[in-house]
Structure 1
Amino acid sequence: MALSSFVLNTHPFSFRVSTDIEQIVESVKLLYGDAVELDSRISLPYYEIKIKHTSLARKLFKSQSQFFCDQREPFLPMPIDKCLAMFEWGLNWVVSAHEFRHVILHSAVLAKGDKAVLFPAPPGSGKSTLTSWLSHNGWRLLSDEMALMTPNTTQVTPFVRPICLKNNAIALAKEWFPDGRFSHISPNTHKGDVIHLSPPQASWHERFNTAEVVAIVYPQYSTSTFCDIYELTKAEAFSTLTTNAFNYGVLGGTGFTTLTNLVEKCQTFEVKYNNLEELQSFLENDVL
């Protein structure tokens, strides 16, 4: 297809996306719904994004995709069947590398009403599986990847986007949510097989509504553990939270004050579990 463009309005950011990959256009429309403006002249975007085929020769014989932000190329080209994963990871890179109005934590964020819980966790912890479960069972998704904290407060701004599921979690999510809006699978990435799931409409409708963080929960899926809960000390909570902060060092005193404020005002737990319903019950009855 010829190069086309659209604007993706993912509050609080917008991206003008130019692409010649039909799979990108169709997948983004499916996953983001009315956050996509097909007339790219309507809005003034924060960032200019391009994801396109590589050279004509590669397009014909070994199809690959490239991702650019304002002419910078942060990744090596990837096979075209991984283009959506590249696009989503590219958006993560753009925000984490350029955004300094918020203190950014690598964390899922979900809320009931205006009370939010942060779920920072490393890869393999089951964070996104938990995110998909809660967002389809009465919670609203603010983010699967990034907590955008207003400096010096406990207020978090939504950055609603699709949930990234990997490997065994893909079949589980398709069984749990047969009517969910799933992308195609991006196979054999460095994270394994990857698929994206659009959150329920309620999360999209409330994507402009901030929430107050009341707790921080570090989830770790464990096949042998039903639901074990450990409360962290303030020192443990602060130390662990700093390792999940993208721009903490760059923001200096503002970053330090924001994380200190979170730790002082929020309960912090580490949870090992193999039962999502039990974990949800703990969150709703003992945390919120």
Structure 2
Amino acid sequence: MKLKDLSLSEFSDLINNDGLGIDFGITSFCILTKIKSVQSTFKQLYADFEVKPKESFTDFQVSVAYPNNIRRFLKPQVSFYFDEHSPFLPLPKSQSYPLLEWGMNWCVAGHKHNYLLLHGAVLEKNGEAMIFPAPPGSGKSTLTAYLSHTGWRLLSDEMTVINLTTGLVEPFVRPICLKNNSIDLFHSWFPDAFISNIAKDTNKGDVAHVKPPIDSVNRYLEPAKVKAIVLPKYDKNVELDIYALNKCDAYKAVSTNAFNEGVMGKEGFESAVNLVESCDTVEIHYNNLALVSEFLLEGQFKP
């Protein structure tokens, strides 16, 4: 059953009391919160996701709640909890929803070491996946949001998940986190897409989350073969410049953006090496998303 098929009373009972289980394919979460704004946003962003049966097993049990102190009445704050443990400092109530998403990322990045995990987006077209590993400020999420709403399948905005056995990239479909000016840009491009309310003045600036396309959600169990690794760097002065990377520089880029390669030891290193050996790697400097999309579709990554 999908989340949107639950009645309001069923949804409220689960998320307030027993926890709402969501299946993501590579993992599952049980979400619990009594904060109405978080409930409403989660219900809209995850409407097309599969709900796990009540009391079934989930990998991570998480919640966003008010701390038990006087601050809940004066300038209220919220905390993220993983199995009743709070790994972060509290944040202002206005940042409740982003805190949930960031906490879910933390759970996977810190615990799912049966996959190689990279900080990077993944999109697929015609059966071929592109990985976009990039640090904050590179324009990765803006590019991801644009491509995912112009015919590309979204596998992930934040976390590339590499299967150690097959070498395929596994979907981890979640809402896309846009920041600052990108929020208004995306809304102007795709006025019918759902965007959450803006959380102001977070440590990443103003942030909002975009609901993932339904086709991407429906294919949440469908892996893809990696065609290329693309390192995006937004540059307002450049329409599109393309630079091919050798395997050494490609590995450095993958390793730099890896969450858990070091934790996995030899297995992590070999998985990263196999990834860069199996595909081409380019760095792109750009300000024209249509040109980027055209280049990716042509697939001419070698000089």
TM-score normalised by the shorter chain: which range applies?
over 0.9
Structure 1 residue aligned with 2:35: 21
Task: Give the superposition deviation at 1:207.
Answer: 1.0
* Identity fraction in percent: 43
How many Å apart are 1:212 and its aligned residue?
Answer: 0.5
- Name which of 195, 205, 214 aligns with 2:227: 214
Query: In structure 2, what is the Cα distance between the partners aligned to 1:156 and 1:43?
Result: 26
**Residue 93 of structure 1 corresponds to which residue in structure 2?**
106
Partner of 2:8: none
Structure 1: stretches of 5+ with no match in the other structure: none
**8 Å contact from structure 1 (residues 119, 219) kept in 2:** yes
Runs of 4+ deviating beyond 3 Å:
1-4
Corresponding position: 1:250 with 2:263: yes
Q: Distance in 1 between matches of 2:299 and 2:217?
A: 27
Which of 190, 194, 197 lines up with 1:177 in the alignment? 190
Number of equivalent positions: 287
- The corresponding residue for 1:34 is 48
Among 175, 193, 196, the residue aligned to 2:206: 193
Aligned to 1:8: 22
Counterpart check, 1:168 vs 2:181: yes
Cα-Cα RMSD: 1.7
8 Å CA contact 1:19, 1:52 repeated in 2: yes
* Contact in 1 for aligned 2:48/2:214 (Cα 8 Å): no
The Cα of 1:36 is off from its aligned counterpart by 5.8
Aligned to 2:67: 54
The Cα offsets for residues 181-201 of structure 1, whole Å up to 9 and x where unpaired, read as 111111100110000001111
- How far is the alpha carbon of 1:264 from its aligned partner? 1.0
Q: Distance in 2 between matches of 1:10 and 1:182?
A: 21
Contact residue 222 and residue 274 of structure 1 kept, 8 A:
yes
Contact 1:152 1:261 survives alignment (8 Å):
no
> C-alpha deviations, 1:28-73, integer Å up to 9, x for none?
1100113263x87253111110211122632222211110111221
Alpha-carbon distance in 2 for matches of 1:196, 1:54: 24
Q: State how far apart, in whole Å, the 2-side matches of 1:214 and 1:253 are.
A: 24
Equivalent position to 2:94, from 73, 81, 93: 81
CA distance in 2, matches of 1:36, 1:83: 23
Distance 1:10 1:275 in 2: 32
Task: Supply the distance in 2 between the matched residues of 1:147 and 1:17 (Cα, whole angstroms).
Answer: 22
Verify the 8 A CA contact 2:48 2:217 in the aligned structure 1. no
Query: Structure 2: how far apart are the matches of 1:261 and 1:137?
Result: 30
Please report how far the alpha carbon of residue 203 of structure 1 lies from its aligned counterpart in structure 2 after TM superposition.
0.7
Q: Does 2:260 match 1:235?
A: no
> With structure 2 as the length reference, what TM-score do the two structures score?
0.91
Q: Which residue of 2 aligns with 1:150?
A: 163
Contact conserved, 1:107 with 1:121, CA < 8 A, in 2?
yes
Would you say the 8 A contact 2:239–2:285 is kept in 1? Answer: yes
TM-score (norm 1): 0.95
Residue 128 of structure 1 corresponds to which residue in structure 2? 141
C-alpha distance 36-263 of structure 1, shift in aligned 2 (>3 A): closer
1:152–1:254: 8 Å Cα contact kept in structure 2?
no
Contact 1:107 1:244 in 2 (8 A): yes
